[in-house]
Structure 1
Protein backbone atom coordinates (compact mmCIF):
# COMPACT_ATOMS: atom_id res chain seq x y z
CA UNK A 1 0.00 0.00 0.00
CA UNK A 2 1.31 3.43 -0.91
CA UNK A 3 0.10 7.00 -0.38
CA UNK A 4 -1.88 6.97 -3.63
CA UNK A 5 -3.77 3.87 -2.51
CA UNK A 6 -4.61 5.68 0.73
CA UNK A 7 -5.73 8.81 -1.13
CA UNK A 8 -8.06 6.66 -3.23
CA UNK A 9 -9.80 5.31 -0.12
CA UNK A 10 -12.94 6.85 1.26
CA UNK A 11 -12.68 8.55 4.65
CA UNK A 12 -14.47 5.58 6.17
CA UNK A 13 -11.98 3.13 4.64
CA UNK A 14 -9.03 5.19 5.92
CA UNK A 15 -10.48 5.23 9.43
CA UNK A 16 -11.08 1.47 9.34
CA UNK A 17 -7.50 0.93 8.17
CA UNK A 18 -6.11 3.15 10.94
CA UNK A 19 -8.20 1.29 13.52
CA UNK A 20 -6.91 -2.06 12.26
CA UNK A 21 -3.30 -0.85 12.44
CA UNK A 22 -3.86 0.61 15.90
CA UNK A 23 -5.46 -2.62 17.13
CA UNK A 24 -2.53 -4.63 15.81
CA UNK A 25 -0.12 -2.41 17.72
CA UNK A 26 -2.09 -2.44 20.96
CA UNK A 27 -2.95 -6.11 21.14
CA UNK A 28 0.00 -7.75 19.40
CA UNK A 29 2.94 -5.64 20.58
CA UNK A 30 2.60 -5.28 24.33
CA UNK A 31 6.33 -4.55 24.63
CA UNK A 32 6.14 -1.18 22.85
CA UNK A 33 7.36 1.44 25.30
CA UNK A 34 5.77 4.83 25.66
CA UNK A 35 8.22 7.52 24.48
CA UNK A 36 9.85 9.59 27.23
CA UNK A 37 8.37 12.78 25.79
CA UNK A 38 4.87 11.45 26.54
CA UNK A 39 5.76 11.29 30.22
CA UNK A 40 7.13 14.84 30.07
CA UNK A 41 3.87 16.12 28.59
CA UNK A 42 1.82 14.36 31.25
CA UNK A 43 4.01 15.71 34.05
CA UNK A 44 3.78 19.26 32.67
CA UNK A 45 -0.01 18.98 32.47
CA UNK A 46 -0.21 17.69 36.05
CA UNK A 47 1.89 20.64 37.23
CA UNK A 48 -0.35 23.14 35.41
CA UNK A 49 -3.45 21.58 36.94
CA UNK A 50 -1.94 21.54 40.43
CA UNK A 51 -0.81 25.18 40.15
CA UNK A 52 -4.19 26.30 38.83
CA UNK A 53 -2.75 27.39 35.48
CA UNK A 54 -4.46 24.72 33.38
CA UNK A 55 -7.13 25.77 30.94
CA UNK A 56 -9.97 23.44 30.09
CA UNK A 57 -12.40 23.53 27.17
CA UNK A 58 -15.64 21.71 26.49
CA UNK A 59 -15.75 18.66 24.24
CA UNK A 60 -17.80 20.67 21.77
CA UNK A 61 -15.13 23.40 21.63
CA UNK A 62 -12.42 20.77 21.26
CA UNK A 63 -14.20 19.20 18.29
CA UNK A 64 -14.62 22.60 16.64
CA UNK A 65 -10.96 23.46 17.19
CA UNK A 66 -9.86 20.04 15.90
CA UNK A 67 -12.01 20.25 12.77
CA UNK A 68 -10.65 23.71 11.95
CA UNK A 69 -7.06 22.49 12.33
CA UNK A 70 -7.74 19.48 10.08
CA UNK A 71 -9.15 21.73 7.37
CA UNK A 72 -5.99 23.86 7.48
CA UNK A 73 -3.73 20.79 7.14
CA UNK A 74 -5.83 19.14 4.41
CA UNK A 75 -3.34 16.46 3.38
CA UNK A 76 -5.70 14.69 1.02
Structure 2
Protein backbone atom coordinates (compact mmCIF):
# COMPACT_ATOMS: atom_id res chain seq x y z
CA UNK A 1 0.00 0.00 0.00
CA UNK A 2 1.39 3.39 -0.95
CA UNK A 3 1.14 6.26 1.53
CA UNK A 4 1.03 9.91 0.48
CA UNK A 5 3.61 12.27 1.91
CA UNK A 6 1.49 13.16 4.91
CA UNK A 7 3.78 16.00 5.96
CA UNK A 8 3.01 17.84 2.74
CA UNK A 9 -0.78 17.66 3.14
CA UNK A 10 -2.68 20.74 4.31
CA UNK A 11 -3.84 20.61 7.94
CA UNK A 12 -7.49 20.14 6.92
CA UNK A 13 -6.59 17.04 4.88
CA UNK A 14 -4.41 15.66 7.69
CA UNK A 15 -7.34 16.02 10.09
CA UNK A 16 -9.68 14.34 7.62
CA UNK A 17 -7.21 11.47 7.16
CA UNK A 18 -6.81 11.12 10.92
CA UNK A 19 -10.59 11.08 11.41
CA UNK A 20 -10.98 8.40 8.74
CA UNK A 21 -8.31 6.24 10.37
CA UNK A 22 -9.84 6.71 13.82
CA UNK A 23 -13.32 5.79 12.54
CA UNK A 24 -11.93 2.66 10.90
CA UNK A 25 -10.09 1.64 14.07
CA UNK A 26 -13.13 2.22 16.28
CA UNK A 27 -15.13 -0.37 14.36
CA UNK A 28 -12.33 -2.94 14.21
CA UNK A 29 -11.80 -4.99 17.36
CA UNK A 30 -10.14 -8.07 15.90
CA UNK A 31 -6.40 -7.83 16.38
CA UNK A 32 -6.68 -5.01 18.91
CA UNK A 33 -4.37 -5.38 21.90
CA UNK A 34 -5.95 -6.65 25.10
CA UNK A 35 -6.09 -4.36 28.11
CA UNK A 36 -3.53 -5.74 30.58
CA UNK A 37 -4.91 -7.32 33.75
CA UNK A 38 -2.95 -4.89 35.94
CA UNK A 39 -4.70 -2.00 34.21
CA UNK A 40 -8.14 -3.49 34.79
CA UNK A 41 -7.19 -4.11 38.45
CA UNK A 42 -6.09 -0.50 38.88
CA UNK A 43 -9.34 0.83 37.42
CA UNK A 44 -11.37 -1.44 39.70
CA UNK A 45 -9.37 -0.28 42.75
CA UNK A 46 -9.89 3.37 41.86
CA UNK A 47 -13.62 2.87 41.37
CA UNK A 48 -13.81 1.12 44.76
CA UNK A 49 -11.91 3.98 46.46
CA UNK A 50 -14.26 6.52 44.86
CA UNK A 51 -17.33 4.55 45.94
CA UNK A 52 -16.06 4.25 49.53
CA UNK A 53 -15.24 7.96 49.73
CA UNK A 54 -11.54 7.40 50.44
CA UNK A 55 -10.48 8.88 47.09
CA UNK A 56 -10.67 12.69 47.17
CA UNK A 57 -12.53 14.42 44.38
CA UNK A 58 -12.68 18.01 43.16
CA UNK A 59 -15.11 20.00 41.04
CA UNK A 60 -13.86 20.27 37.45
CA UNK A 61 -13.18 24.02 37.63
CA UNK A 62 -11.08 23.58 40.77
CA UNK A 63 -9.16 20.64 39.30
CA UNK A 64 -8.55 22.53 36.05
CA UNK A 65 -7.22 25.53 37.98
CA UNK A 66 -4.90 23.31 40.03
CA UNK A 67 -3.57 21.56 36.91
CA UNK A 68 -2.92 24.88 35.19
CA UNK A 69 -1.10 26.20 38.26
CA UNK A 70 1.06 23.07 38.41
CA UNK A 71 1.83 23.40 34.70
CA UNK A 72 2.73 27.06 35.13
CA UNK A 73 0.07 28.31 32.73
CA UNK A 74 -2.28 29.96 35.23
> Which TM-score applies when normalising by structure 1?
0.45
> Whose RCO is larger (CA < 8 A, sep 6+)?
1
Greater fraction of residues in helix = 1
Q: Which has the larger radius of gyration?
A: 2
